[in-house]
Structure 1
Amino acid sequence: MNGKELLITLDLLQKEKHISRESIIEAIKDAVDKAYKREVDPEATIEVEFNEKTGEISVYNLLKVVKAEDLDDELTQLNLEEAQQLNHTLGLGDIYRRPIPFSEFSRIAALQVKQAIRQKLAEAQKVVLYDEWAPKIGTVINAQVEQVNPNGSILVDLGSSIFGFVTPGGSIPGEKIEPGKMYKFYVQDVPEVADGTIEIMAVARNPGERAKVAIRSNVSSIDPIGAIVGRKGARINAVSSQLKDERIDVVP
């Protein structure tokens, strides 16, 4: 992704996804920093600059100026004599910004930058989704049934590639639910997570096979696993069924 492409991407994300330009630039700079430390020197102190007019990225290695006899790490230090040859105004303790050729790690950096942009986009989509649906919690909506699963859970098409789930036993007893037809649904979330009683601490996943979700309860009287799993596994099984029966382990 060259400078021009980066600027176009920044403009699109800002205008269409309402992601602040500053947050994207910071994510890009952080991605380049991580790429350099991963591929070149994990102990280096670097500075990344992003030119908002050209989209070009500049990287500098920050070297502390020291006496020749005190030089013990050429990746973080620069002796005084050499420093003054580069810039006669530099003195002991000053920082010299040595330009780093971007070609040294540009491929890895480019991948990191793309990943950072994708992450920002995903975060923005979550915010948009929350802002759209949070006001609907506790209301009744019309939606089309996409799929009825053998365990009784229902996949509901909410539009705009968004789907909701009805857990087993969540529909009216005796009501016949058919895919492709419209029904009324009551919107709710997992209240214990929404109000902060239970926190999801980490998620590790091997897509299609297994996932592990670490949680904790902030209220001693609330069983976090029971709340997430649901009665007879209703809540967690509804999610698992939509992930092609991917096994989901919930641990405290």
Structure 2
Amino acid sequence: MNDLKRIIDQVSKEKGIDRAVLIGAVEEAIRSAARKKYGQKADLEVQYNEETGEVEVFQFRTVVEKVADPETEISLEEARALDPESQLGDSLGVKLDTRDLGRIAAQTAKQIIIQKIKSAERDLIYEEYKDRVGHIVAGSVQRFDRGNIIVNLGRTEAILPVSEQIPTEHYRRGDRIRALIIEVRRASRDPQIVLSRSHPDFLAKLFELEVPEIQEGVVKIMGVAREPGSRAKIAVVSSDPDIDPVGACVGLRGSRVQAIVQELKGEKIDIVPWNPDPAKYVYNALSPAECSKVIVDEANKALEVVVPDDQLSLAIGRQGQNVRLASKLLGWKIDVCSETQYARRQDPGFKALLSLDGLEEPVAAKLYDAGISSPELLAQSEPEQVAEIASLSQEEAKKIIEIARSQVGN
């Protein structure tokens, strides 16, 4: 224990742990070790002496005529050998030699000290990072654990779970990485800090770092929708009529948005002007497609968007991605149709076809375009004709003709 004071000072400085916490850990450890040697019932007082840098242990025993329990009692004769003024009933304290605690007891002390230091470190990390949820941090890839990436942040480690990674990204040990803190938890073993690169807020924070107008509060991010690694949409608005929010986010010759695209390894980003009017907002959100008409259903938060025929595939996007992201951005259900489809839907005959049980719109559209524009005409059609027009089997064609005949008959 000769170097104890130096060790406490060194650990306190290196780990940033309060000396009082370390001293308390040492005292607890020595108390535990002393109990192993002198008994669990022993009345022990443990104190760290700042002057000597040693831990002093005193055992207190009651002075009695006849000792029944050596752990808690001492005979009058033995007590007077230590203190001639001892009387029966006195509580006599004797300083113990901590060097006699033994190897096993010292090992126990060491384990408790290490445990206390780790616990204090976890508390420090929690206090340091708990208010940084929603902030971006940078670190390096330390190792991989069942697909999760363990990131070294300097003083501590963080975890980037598989679910929070961008599917198209791949890292190697030592790679630099930036991510968003989404959770800080009091964990006993696993990393306490949980990171994300796929969260919509990660994209929002990257724009905040790149665009001074967002930091200043002139430009505000109103919504983010992402399919991480593929494409994203971000809606922005400006409180200053002289500042174009989209232009501010794009930057000179695209410099600002390109820096973010580079960080996200090529994720395409659509920056759209926000608008309080859902009809105007969806027009912006479906860009680069143009809209001819928007029908708003406020009650069901649904929008029917009509686009020119040659814009339909652009509005929907590859595998429906464009309209899906626009829907996420607005928080509304969006149904996109072409002008031809919309005109068809207004025809009472087509509406009647759609009312037939089991007849889906794509099949009804094929029949309508081929001149079978009402349930009456469908009821009069031959199965071979219907099967060929609608790309159905003979059995399926017969079934929908029977349904039409049943309805017309009624």
Q: Which category describes the TM-score, using the shorter chain as reference length?
A: 0.5 to 0.7
User: Which amino acid is the alignment partner of residue 72 of structure 1?
Assistant: A
**Is 2:169 aligned against 1:176?**
yes
Q: How does 1:116-155 map to 2 (within 5 A)?
A: 116-145=112-141, 153-155=147-149
SS across alignment from 2:182: coil
| 1:161-217 Cα distance to aligned partner (Å, 9 max, x none) | 6433333332345x3334365554222127xx67xxxxx8x98xxxxxxxxxxxxxx
**Is 2:47 aligned against 1:43?**
no
**Is 2:22 aligned against 1:24?**
yes
SS across alignment from 1:73: coil
User: Which amino acid is the alignment partner of residue 76 of structure 2?
Assistant: L
**1:25 positional shift:** 2.3
In structure 1, list runs of 5 or more residues that go unmatched: 195-199, 204-252
User: Which amino acid is the alignment partner of residue 52 of structure 2?
Assistant: T
**1:31 positional shift:** 1.4
Q: TM-score, normalised by structure 1?
A: 0.60
* CA 13–78 in structure 1, closer or farther in 2 if over 3 Å, else same: same
Match of 2:181 in 1: 187
Which has a greater percent of helix?
Answer: 2
**Is 2:160 aligned against 1:166?**
yes
1-structure distance, mates of 2:32, 2:169: 54
**1:137 positional shift:** 1.1
Identity of aligned residues (%): 27
**1:46 positional shift:** 2.1
The answer as to whether partners of 1:47 and 1:61 remain within 8 angstroms in 2 is yes
2-structure distance, mates of 1:79, 1:100: 18
The answer as to whether partners of 2:139 and 2:176 remain within 8 angstroms in 1 is yes
1-structure distance, mates of 2:71, 2:177: 65
1-structure distance, mates of 2:114, 2:57: 22
The answer as to whether partners of 1:145 and 1:154 remain within 8 angstroms in 2 is no
| 1:28-70 Cα distance to aligned partner (Å, 9 max, x none) | 222122112223423222223332222233333211012x25x
The answer as to whether partners of 1:138 and 1:187 remain within 8 angstroms in 2 is yes
User: Which amino acid is the alignment partner of residue 188 of structure 1?
Assistant: I
| 1:126-167 Cα distance to aligned partner (Å, 9 max, x none) | 133223322321233445555677x7x441534326433333
Which has a greater percent of strand?
Answer: 1
2-structure distance, mates of 1:115, 1:104: 18
User: Which amino acid is the alignment partner of residue 41 of structure 1?
Assistant: G
| 1:64-123 Cα distance to aligned partner (Å, 9 max, x none) | 012x25x31233112334433432332232111133333432433432333333223212
Larger of the two Rg values belongs to structure: 2
Query: How many residue pairs end up in the alignment?
Result: 188
Match of 1:14 in 2: 12
1-structure distance, mates of 2:103, 2:110: 11
* CA 186–41 in structure 1, closer or farther in 2 if over 3 Å, else same: same
Q: How does 1:49-68 map to 2 (within 5 A)?
A: 49-66=47-64, 68=65
* CA 177–97 in structure 1, closer or farther in 2 if over 3 Å, else same: same
Match of 2:31 in 1: 33
User: Which amino acid is the alignment partner of residue 159 of structure 2?
Assistant: F
Bigger mean CA deviation after superposition, 27-36 or 38-47? 38-47
* CA 20–92 in structure 1, closer or farther in 2 if over 3 Å, else same: farther
Q: TM-score, normalised by structure 2?
A: 0.39
Q: Which has the higher contact order (CA 8 A, sep 6+)?
A: 1
